[in-house]
Structure 1
Amino acid sequence: MTHIDRDDLALIALAELDLTEPERVHLSECPECSLDLISLRHTIAVGRSARDVEVIEPGDAVWGRIHSALGLSDAVAGTPRRSDYPAAVGPARAGPARVGPVARIDGSARPGRARFWLPLTVAAGIVGLVGGIGGGIWWESLRQDAAPPVVTEAKIAEAKLDPFPGWDAAGTAYVEKAADGRREVVVDLTGATGTAPLREVWLIKADASGLVSIGLLDGNTGRFSIPDGLDLAQYPLVDVSAEPDNGDPAHSGDSIVRGRLHAT
């Protein structure tokens, strides 16, 4: 199978390149490319949503953990400060290099244009590092430091479920935590999903390297228990897939909708 060029996926995610019909068909059939596109779109959404975020210098302990995790040398053991790097003043930076025509999955060629894949890759790495550290701290704080609930159940996270190519559907999902610590995902799905023999609900890692089935969706709304010990910081994606009625427990690769959980 010929996959979509990763540079093309990046430009599609940035809305700088439109999908061709062969690419739409390929995304509906290829879980690898569709997962890559979803991941890129999430990365871009996080980056764009952070434009107005006030930057606060972290404490020395944060840099100490990063320094240790990356195995950096003692030469950079000191915590870097914004004051150490004054704003650059001078000539404008060189623009991105241009490349020649590149063949797309349907065999057509698109004109040479500026490529932004390297910066996007770097940005994805930064977002992944910061998101991993921040997400872990946030969820750990949520588990350990939250005040005793005053209601039977509290909504702690929610997600907007967006459709995959080929599906006219949408929905929402949210996580409720009971006073005794039990957690449930509530899924509300709308749109045309009648062609799916079975609809299965999954929790998936952000990089799609792991997934957990939490049940079958019967109707438009369902409530599903989250396994004890499952870290939602590691499994933040809620996915509803179309499954054949053949007894195979594996994900079919045909996702109807998917969305990322965010704290409420």
Structure 2
Amino acid sequence: MTHIDPDRLASFAMSDDEPDGAEQAHLAECAVCAADLSESERALELAQEARGVDLIAPPPEVWARIQGELGLSETVMPTAAVPRPSLRPEPEAAPAPPVAILRGARRPRFWIPLAAAALVVGLVGGVGAGVWWQSTRQAEAGSTLAEAELEPFPEWPDARGSAVVQQRPDGTRQVVVDVDPAADSGSPDAPLREVWLIRTDGTGLISVGFLDGTSGRFDIPAGIDLAQYALVDVSAEADNGDPTHSGDSIVRGELRAL
């Protein structure tokens, strides 16, 4: 069976031409040509949808991936900015070289401008989604105000940890505490581990919660001056209902403003 010329199929997809009666009959019978036309139309739709999207400048490795996918020896687009995909080549531009991408016994794929446009939309969309996800996570966490390295007490020589104070967009503050597994035996009989903010002169302390596992995020009560309550302490506590500090600290460190 003689297939329809790839350039004709690309022209159909871009509505530059209409198939004649024989070509319409062939498309109705030939699954290969019909699939090629459908995929070209979908690639064109993706490129058109990108017209309303605010694109960003991706890092150079994105263009390197495009080169690898298309088998090109030179960068096909500048790395400084991301233009909207061109649906038609400029009149002066030389035609893009064909690239063979075989699927089973099917003939080579075609119409590189459409394929490149779809690939650019996909890659830029992925970069945009990653930037959006990262900015969302940063907005949720807020800005970092202070941090501390938590050093072990003699009874817990292998324990280590860290603490970070973050201020959320609504103004509330949280302390994020991480300890290594040495501070948590994982045994059901292991003591509870309570997180405290302690005045540097030792005259006051505030419990902010219990650590479950090796990491925890705790709200800092409003009005607490962290310049005074600058010590972050994790203590081992018996499950006996006593709200006071046991005196058995696992790790402790002083917050340092950033």
> Which TM-score band applies after superposition, normalised by the shorter structure?
0.3 to 0.5
TM-score (norm: length of structure 1):
0.42
Q: Which has the larger radius of gyration?
A: 2
TM-score (norm: length of structure 2):
0.43
- Name the structure, 1 or 2, with higher relative contact order (CA <8 Å, separation 6+): 1
